[in-house]
Structure formats: C-alpha cells, structure tokens
C-alpha cells in the first residue's frame, strides 16, 4: 500500500514538472524579441519619436532610453536612428535584436549599410555577399522598424 502511494506521488510530481515546462515554453514563445520590441515601441512611441527627432536634428544622442541602448544616427540614402535591444552569441555567431526610426519611412539594413534589401512575405531581408552575415527588418508602425542582424 505504501509503495503504491509513493508511486502515485512520483507520477504526480513528474506530470506537474512536465506541465510547468510546457507552460514556460508557451510563455517564452509568446515573448519573442520581436513581440517585446514591438510592444516597447508601441507603448513608448511618443517619447521615442521625440528622441529620434532630437537625434536627427543634430542634438546629443543619449546612451540609452529605458535600458535600451541608443546606437545613434546612421546615414545612408536616408538617415535612421537605431536602438539596440538585445543580443547574444560570440563571434562568429552573434545575433542582434533592435529597432530603428527611419526618417523617410523606408526600411533599412542594420546600421544603414549599403547592402540591398530584398522584399519578403512579411518584411525585408539582406545579406552580405559571400558571407553568412545578414539580417531582416519588419515594419512595426509608421516609421518604426524591427531588426535582426546576424554575424
């Protein structure tokens, strides 16, 4: 009788751990970098647009805004103000996540480099010819875009 009770408790404990793991995995899936960044930009859009305008007018570029690093203004065909949200990995396998304000409202590559953008089903992608470096960008709202870059 005692062994039956112990077996039942072990089975319940294992089942509980599996359910907890499934719930955590589901939660993490809904908290992808793109979702977190999109929510952050949407919730702080007015302040971020003011900050971007000040940067584009030649004002001082702050180091950060609410723990998000301000990478700065990058010139190209059109200027962007880029923000670094998160990243991981060691060279040669790093991945960066962030967002940027495009003055023209047109998508750009990471740091507004000259690599051509290719339109995809849900945004744009780019790659540095002959390497595995590349990235993608998607519109969040208005002139705001999400980016991923890998090196």
Q: Where are the domains of the chain?
A: 1-31, 34-150
Question: Does the pLDDT of residue 11 top 90, yes or no?
Answer: no
pLDDT tens for 77-130 read 889 999 999 988 776 678 999 999 999 999 999 999 989 999 999 999 999 887
Q: Which of 1-10, 88-97, 138-147 has the lowest mean pLDDT?
A: 1-10
pLDDT tens for 14-68 read 766 666 665 565 555 557 999 999 999 999 999 999 999 999 998 788 999 999 9
Question: What is the value of pTM for the model shown?
Answer: 0.78
SS (H, E, C) the chain: CHHHHHHHHHHHHHHHHHHHHHHHHHHHHHCCHHHHHHHHHHHCHHHHHHHHHHHHCCCCCCCEECCEEEEEEECCCCCEEEEEEEEECCCCCCEEEEEEEECCCCCCCHHHCCCCCEECCCCEEEECCCCCCEEEEEEEECCEEEEEEEC
């Amino acid at each position: 009788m005692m062994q039956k009770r112990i077996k039942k408790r072990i089975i319940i404990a294992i089942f509980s751990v599996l359910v907890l793991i499934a719930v955590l995995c589901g939660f993490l899936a809904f908290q992808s970098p793109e979702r977190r960044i999109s929510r952050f930009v949407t919730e702080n859009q007015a302040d971020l647009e003011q900050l971007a305008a000040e940067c584009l007018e030649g004002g001082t570029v702050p180091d950060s805004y609410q723990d998000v690093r301000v990478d700065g203004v990058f010139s190209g065909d059109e200027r962007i103000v880029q923000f670094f949200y998160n990243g991981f990995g060691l060279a040669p396998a790093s991945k960066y996540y962030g967002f940027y304000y495009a003055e023209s409202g047109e998508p750009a590559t990471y740091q507004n480099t000259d690599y051509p953008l290719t339109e995809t089903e849900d945004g744009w992608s780019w790659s540095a010819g002959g390497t595995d470096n590349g990235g993608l960008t998607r519109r969040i709202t208005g002139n705001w875009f999400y980016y991923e870059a890998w090196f």
